[in-house]
């Protein structure tokens, strides 16, 4: 059914405008751009959904209702659509600067922080016509397995509010899953869009580092952290990336992204691995992943295979600790009492590293990267679980063991996702089909750097043919 007819039908049969909240960002953009729906109506519907759902779930740190209404009015007054996201409500993770709108980084230290300028990714979203409804919750500075901080949270899982939504883009995942926004921004260091996407039954994209520039990043060649997006459908992720991608001279990574996006030819070759040969993964997750692989065999040729990831856990631990200590060491020295225990642990982990430790980790990282490259000589995609465990109670701050086996550090449960961050390959996350009594679970679909279009094409295929797609939560 065309978008315009769908909206006319929805609005005719629903007295409440909150039905608008169930439409995808691409559908909303078409309807608003064609005049079938006003941006103001879309914004009011999503603000009403936030007012209804967020007191229970705590997805938003800040809601900018008046700013969103002004932006919607500007869109509605424009003689033509201002961009591909014309009038569409979005959420921005509260690690990312928004001009004149509180940006706390999840920390008491910045509770009154009002940035003077937008981060580039936010500026590009606005130029594309997006209307920012507010800032979504995150652990302090993005470091934490549970999406909570001293300002807000915990952000509760919409499928079971007693459980975690995942760190650190849990606010964005919950906002999307419950229709508070159709599209939300996130960031991903070791799995921070992918884990919440898996826990909350939504899709996510972590693109090739540099695809979305970060011109104010202090370490210009650091590719561990990237911007990304969460949505309920692959098309929305592709639309969001299309308006935010493109080089910037102040981001050296963004000028060197190699585009190797050849279209798929014939039946895809799908390498699958439950653990990359090293990651701790729960037995029940392995079972769900095996079932997902059986379904994938209907659309591609399955090749059980994994790159050689020897030393990956130690490598990521070292590089991550060094980056965090460099970025936040001064805060630990001067404001320790105001930081959360998780942030303190993360900073202290890098305090004793030497230059030799760091360079040895980079050497191992290079070897692992080349092993990934070799794998893609015989496969089009690599598929793995998007989380090593299912969501756990909000009262439990860290994953310390899997299936009774203790983990050495609080970040080791992320090994199944941080290996992809380590090598910088783009990854699409999709929820798999599940029974009514099963918790949400997602898979990572990985492609070579620069191959996002190929990822989206394959994602659409399995979304449509296998039903690997979002299922709306039933909240009381």
pLDDT given at position 256? 77
d(CA 139, CA 126): 25
| 91-136 pLDDT per residue, tens | 999 999 999 999 999 999 999 999 999 999 999 999 999 999 999 9
83: closest CA among 147, 39, 135? 39
Catalytic residue among 168, 172, 214, 388: 168
d(CA 75, CA 336): 45
- pTM listed for this prediction: 0.95
| 158-194 pLDDT per residue, tens | 999 999 999 999 999 999 999 999 999 999 999 999 9
Q: Is residue 450 within 8 Å of residue 208, measured between CB atoms?
A: yes
d(CA 410, CA 349): 11
Catalytic residue among 93, 135, 165, 397: 93
93 is known as an active-site residue: yes
- Taking 80 as the threshold, does the pLDDT of residue 8 lie above it? no
Q: Is residue 389 within 8 Å of residue 410, measured between CB atoms?
A: no
CA–centroid distance for 421 within its chain: 12
pLDDT given at position 5? 52
Residue 384 in 3-state DSSP? strand
| 440-473 pLDDT per residue, tens | 999 999 999 999 999 999 999 999 999 999 999 9
Fold topology of 3-244: Amidase signature (AS) enzymes (3.90.1300)
DSSP 61: E
**Could you give the count of Cα atoms lying within 13 Å of 457 in the half-sphere of its Cβ?**
15
The fraction of the chain above a pLDDT of 90, given in percent, is 91
d(CA 46, CA 179): 7
Catalytic residue among 165, 169, 172, 192: 192
134's tokens = 């507010």
pLDDT given at position 255? 83
DSSP assignment of 324-357 equals HHHHHHHHHHHHGGGS-HHHHHHHHHTTT--HHH
- Taking 90 as the threshold, does the pLDDT of residue 147 lie above it? yes
Beta bridge partners of 205: 229, 428
d(CA 345, CA 408): 13
Q: For the chain, what are the domain ranges?
A: 3-244
């Amino acid at each position: 059914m065309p978008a315009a007819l769908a909206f006319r039908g929805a609005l005719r049969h629903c007295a409440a405008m909150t039905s608008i909240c169930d439409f995808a960002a691409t559908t909303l953009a078409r309807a608003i751009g064609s005049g079938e729906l006003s941006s103001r109506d879309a914004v009011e519907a999503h603000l009403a959904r936030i007012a209804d759902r967020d007191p229970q779930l705590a997805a938003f740190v800040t809601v900018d209702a008046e700013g969103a209404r002004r932006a919607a009015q500007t869109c509605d007054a424009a003689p033509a659509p201002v961009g591909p996201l014309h009038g569409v409500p979005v959420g921005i993770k509260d690690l990312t600067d928004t001009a004149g709108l509180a940006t706390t980084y999840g920390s008491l230290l910045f509770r009154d922080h009002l940035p003077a300028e937008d981060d580039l990714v936010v500026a590009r979203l606005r130029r594309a016509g997006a209307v920012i409804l507010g800032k979504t919750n995150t652990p302090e500075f993005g470091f934490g397995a549970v999406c909570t901080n001293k300002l807000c949270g915990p952000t509760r899982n919409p499928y079971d509010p007693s459980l975690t939504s995942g760190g650190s883009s849990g606010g964005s995942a919950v906002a999307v899953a419950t229709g508070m926004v159709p599209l939300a921004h996130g960031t991903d260091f070791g799995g921070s869009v992918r884990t919440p996407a898996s826990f909350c039954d939504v899709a996510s994209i972590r693109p090739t580092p540099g695809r979305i520039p970060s011109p104010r990043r202090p370490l210009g060649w650091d590719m561990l952290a990237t911007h990304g997006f969460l949505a309920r459908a692959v098309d929305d992720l592709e639309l969001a990336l299309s308006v935010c991608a493109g080089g910037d001279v102040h981001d050296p990574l963004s000028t060197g992204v190699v585009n190797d996006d050849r279209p798929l030819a014939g039946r895809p070759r799908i390498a699958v691995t439950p653990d990359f040969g090293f990651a701790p993964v729960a037995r029940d997750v392995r079972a769900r992943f095996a079932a997902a692989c059986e379904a994938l065999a209907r659309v591609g040729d399955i090749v059980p295979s994994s790159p050689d990831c020897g030393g990956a856990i130690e490598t990521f631990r070292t590089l991550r600790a060094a980056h965090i200590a460099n970025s936040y060491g001064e805060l630990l020295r001067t404001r320790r009492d105001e930081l959360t225990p998780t942030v303190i642990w993360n900073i202290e982990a890098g305090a004793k590293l030497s230059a030799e430790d760091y360079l040895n980790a980079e050497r191992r990282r290079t070897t692992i990267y080349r092993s990934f490259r070799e794998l893609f000589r015989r496969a089009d995609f690599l598929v793995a679980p998007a989380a090593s465990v299912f969501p756990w109670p909000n009262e439990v701050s860290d994953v310390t063991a899997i299936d009774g086996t203790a983990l050495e550090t609080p970040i080791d449960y992320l090994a199944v996702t941080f290996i992809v961050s380590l090598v910088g390959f783009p990854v699409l996350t999709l929820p798999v089909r599940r029974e009514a009594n099963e918790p949400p679970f997602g898979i990572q679909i990985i492609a070579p750097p620069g191959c996002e279009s190929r990822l989206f094409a394959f994602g659409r295929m399995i979304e449509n043919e296998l039903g690997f797609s979002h299922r709306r939560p039933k909240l009381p």
